[in-house]
Structure 1
Amino acid sequence: MTRCRLCGSAALASVVDLGATPPCESFLAADQLDQPEPAYPLHLQVCTECWLAQIPPLITPEETFKEYAYFSSYSTSWVEHARTFVADAAQRVGLGPDAFVVEVASNDGYLLRHVVDRGIRCLGIEPSVNVGAAAREAGVPTLTEFLDPATGSAVRAEHGPADLVVANNVYAHIPDVVGFTQGLRALVADDGWVSIEVQHLLTLIEENQYDTIYHEHFQYYTVASATRALASGGLALVDVELLPTHGGSIRLWARPTDVAGEPSRQVADVLAREKAAGLQELSGYTEFSARVAKVRRDLLRFLIDAAERGETVVGYGAPGKGNTLLNHCGIRPDLLPYTVDRNPYKHGRFTPGTRIPILPPEQIAADKPDYVLVLPWNLRAELVEQLSFIHDWGGRLVFPIPELSIVEVKS
């Protein structure tokens, strides 16, 4: 990558180099285990002109999202997060019976189902054929397309402008930041609202959340860089909320530039926090690589020591972030014989690169391991409760991020 994808500058500085890994959602079927598996460099850099953190676009969204293994509805807390958002947004934006809501990257309808329940007209725009089909089966109108200016204009022409456009956990997933933002502007009414949730680079750096760096995530935002990205498509940031989701996210509220007005005090406060953390100069990034290396050493030391003591460690979850961690640490079935996941799509498959079997969750109770390594650490509160049954045989949970911690659960 020689140029910043937002501002075009060639002034890119290295933040952390994680080597080469397969795409994090390319789970393997059993008959693929003896076949070659492509791997791509995973090197995070930051533009020292606009401070957008980014990785090279070595794979395309079309390769990743036509058939997708992630179904949002399998996370109980995430569905509840969506329900709360819809209720709050309806009040904030004033969504009445004649309103129209569009969600971009709507997945399996986990969010728009709550809009449907309110009797509000809506449309999902979801590129993945399989999860889009699941949304339609659940009663959520869904268009199978990627968003760009042409798609945005076509949807507006057919359905009318949207009072609210939602783009949760997708703004990092598109290499054409400017074109995607122009698509958002095409969708939204001239007096409408755009709500975007995306992981906050500030918490990624501060909490060692390097496993959220993977090939699906082309860029990583601060409020400062997101403001510039929004402006590239004719949108202006008016407010921001700090969220605990994904280890620390930002919810960006934007409007068309002509009606936006002055941003809220919260925007100024978060910008000041980012500046104080050094994220608008190289000093904020220089120690990150060393802290990433320590996470790797600590986790490997724990797994090796447990194996030498004859203790069993299995995994919980097969999220994209987990595959970055497993590949960077070089963890194979000798240290982690299997992981489990609630998503039946993944059962019988193997993690990319590390080729660890993925089994149904019931396997944990059957085997009674000494430790369960939690790969979706961002769902810590939910999973400590879900996995409390391992207390029955003295099992403990292990969280690798932001630093290794071993948790004794209570039944």
Structure 2
Amino acid sequence: MCAGPVREWVDLGRQPVSNAFLKPEEVDSETFFRLAVGICADCTMVQQLEPMPTDNMFRADYPYRSSTSAGLRSHFEEVARQLRDTELTGVDDLVVEIGSNDGIMLHTLSAAGVRHLGVDPSAGAAAAAVARGVRVRVDFFDERSATEILATDGPAKVIFSANTVSHVADIDTVFRGVDRLLTPDGIFVFEDRYVSDIVEYAYFDQIYDEHFYLFAVRSVDAMVARLGFELVDVERIPIHGGSVRYTVARPGSRERRPSVARMVEEEARYGIGEHETYLRFGRQIERIRTDLVALLTDLRDAGRRVVGYGATSKSATVTNYCGIGPDLVPFICDTTPEKQGRLSPGAHIPVRPYAAFSDPYPDYALLLAWNHAEEIMAKERQFVEQGGRWILYVPHVRIV
């Protein structure tokens, strides 16, 4: 990042590609890496020490689809409306989204007649977006692709990205592309999980291969300044257990809002830039592992049936770090067709269609998609009415 020394604070062990849900015949060729995380002593950026190659993570068959969540659909519809009403007001303004996935955000802008382009390396996700009427370039976003987009579409008034910028270890390449493509008065807006919330609520499973960086306002402020930009606004948003929306512009082109300094001060009070804060977090992660494995083992030994709910990327960290396999959780149910009939990464727990959850209901459900807990629990009232109980593991292990 800034070439400062990075001090390790946790090692979550041997981990797989978090979204590589396997066919049974693919088990022997699975890719693993060491998931260790540190903090830069100079810029305080929290980052992995051994990145997984990007091509291994974001393949043509990348299975994640943002639109499967009603909460995310609502969120990105609002993002699109806000950008349309405040920034994309010119008749020919262009918005480019980095990591457009299945077009959940750009679909709203496309329907409003806004000139747009999504950039995503997953052919499968891009096809889903095209089916929604979204223009997509199947590619990684960097200086090369930005130059080609500039030649064909012209400069972008807005470049947007959600839960993607933190994925790129060589983040300089993204900002060189932004520099090439953005208009002089344009903005680069990106959303990502907030490390302060991750620490406060022990969301340790937010650490997986794709999340190479865990952003704080202070570290992002230093990062964008080093790369020739200015952080002009920040806003806390509730998705994914707590995220921040960062607005970046060319230096001097926009007024810097008081929210930036205010959040930097808050982080300092809570020790978000200090190595010891993360060492304590690492010890809390160890306690969660001990407690969760003990609970699942006791339930199994008592003849209780536990299934997983939500074959999320996060679940790869939980199952592999904790050593949870089919002996403790026989299967995980999930609504994503691309994951069904496959095995979970590393732990090789079968992933079954959503209908399997109620055929019949289990005694307990391990909620791996906890960031959608409110939506899921409202949907699954009958499970509880018939005696089912939820197992949650962040910020601590408990049955609800």
TM bucket, shorter chain: over 0.9
- Please say if 1:19 is aligned against 2:18: no
1:51 corresponds, among 44, 51, 63, to: 44
- Please say if 1:251 is aligned against 2:245: yes
Letter in 2 for 1:384: M
* Separation in 1, partners of 2:277, 2:86: 35
- Please say if 1:108 is aligned against 2:97: no
Aligned with 1:259: secondary structure? coil
Q: Which residue of 1 aligns with 2:273?
A: 280
Number of matched pairs: 399
1:352 corresponds, among 345, 349, 360, to: 345
Q: Which residue of 1 aligns with 2:234?
A: 240
1:123 corresponds, among 114, 117, 136, to: 117
Aligned with 1:8: secondary structure? coil
* Separation in 1, partners of 2:380, 2:196: 30
* Separation in 1, partners of 2:25, 2:89: 50
Letter in 1 for 2:45: L
* Separation in 2, partners of 1:340, 1:125: 30
Q: Which residue of 2 aligns with 1:207?
A: 201
CA root-mean-square deviation: 1.4
Contact in 1 for aligned 2:88/2:95 (Cα 8 Å)? no
Match runs of 1:72-87 below 5 Å: 72-87=66-81
Contact in 1 for aligned 2:335/2:353 (Cα 8 Å)? yes
Q: Which residue of 2 aligns with 1:228?
A: 222
Contact in 1 for aligned 2:9/2:279 (Cα 8 Å)? yes
Letter in 1 for 2:3: G
Q: Which residue of 1 aligns with 2:286?
A: 293
Aligned with 1:110: secondary structure? coil
* Separation in 2, partners of 1:153, 1:232: 22
- Give how far 1:36 is off: 4.4
Q: Which residue of 2 aligns with 1:380?
A: 373
- Please say if 1:134 is aligned against 2:151: no
- Give how far 1:94 is off: 4.8
Q: Which residue of 2 aligns with 1:219?
A: 213
Aligned with 2:165: secondary structure? coil
* Separation in 1, partners of 2:123, 2:318: 28
Q: Which residue of 1 aligns with 2:2?
A: 7
* Separation in 2, partners of 1:57, 1:121: 38
Letter in 2 for 1:118: A
Aligned with 2:202: secondary structure? coil
Aligned with 2:158: secondary structure? strand
- Give how far 1:310 is off: 1.2
* Separation in 1, partners of 2:97, 2:323: 37
- Give how far 1:72 is off: 1.1
- Give how far 1:28 is off: 0.9
- Give how far 1:39 is off: 1.8
Contact in 1 for aligned 2:33/2:50 (Cα 8 Å)? no
Aligned with 1:204: secondary structure? helix
- Give how far 1:76 is off: 1.5
* Separation in 2, partners of 1:159, 1:310: 61
- Please say if 1:266 is aligned against 2:267: no
Letter in 1 for 2:306: V
The TM-score, its normalising length taken from structure 2, stands at 0.96
Contact in 2 for aligned 1:237/1:260 (Cα 8 Å)? no
Contact in 2 for aligned 1:182/1:232 (Cα 8 Å)? no
Q: Which runs of 5+ in 2 are unaligned?
A: none
* Separation in 1, partners of 2:382, 2:314: 25
Distance verdict in 2 for CA 1:133–1:38, change over 3 Å? same
Q: Which residue of 2 aligns with 1:3?
A: none
* Separation in 2, partners of 1:71, 1:152: 24
- Please say if 1:368 is aligned against 2:382: no
Aligned with 1:288: secondary structure? helix
* Separation in 1, partners of 2:49, 2:369: 25
* Separation in 2, partners of 1:135, 1:176: 26
- Please say if 1:171 is aligned against 2:165: yes
- Give how far 1:57 is off: 4.2
- Give how far 1:319 is off: 0.8
* Separation in 1, partners of 2:298, 2:349: 20
- Give how far 1:121 is off: 0.9
Q: Which residue of 1 aligns with 2:328?
A: 335
Aligned with 1:298: secondary structure? helix
Q: Which residue of 2 aligns with 1:190?
A: 184
- Give how far 1:96 is off: 4.0
* Separation in 1, partners of 2:50, 2:143: 20
Query: CA deviation digits over 1:46-93, x for unaligned, max 9?
Result: 110111111134421122112211111111211111001111222232
Contact in 2 for aligned 1:97/1:119 (Cα 8 Å)? no
Query: CA deviation digits over 1:148-169, x for unaligned, max 9?
Result: 1121122122111111110111
Aligned with 1:257: secondary structure? coil
- Give how far 1:280 is off: 2.4
Aligned with 2:167: secondary structure? coil
Q: Which residue of 2 aligns with 1:317?
A: 310
* Separation in 1, partners of 2:349, 2:393: 18
The TM-score, its normalising length taken from structure 1, stands at 0.94
* Separation in 2, partners of 1:238, 1:126: 26
Identity over the aligned pairs, expressed in percent?
33
Letter in 2 for 1:278: G
Letter in 2 for 1:317: G
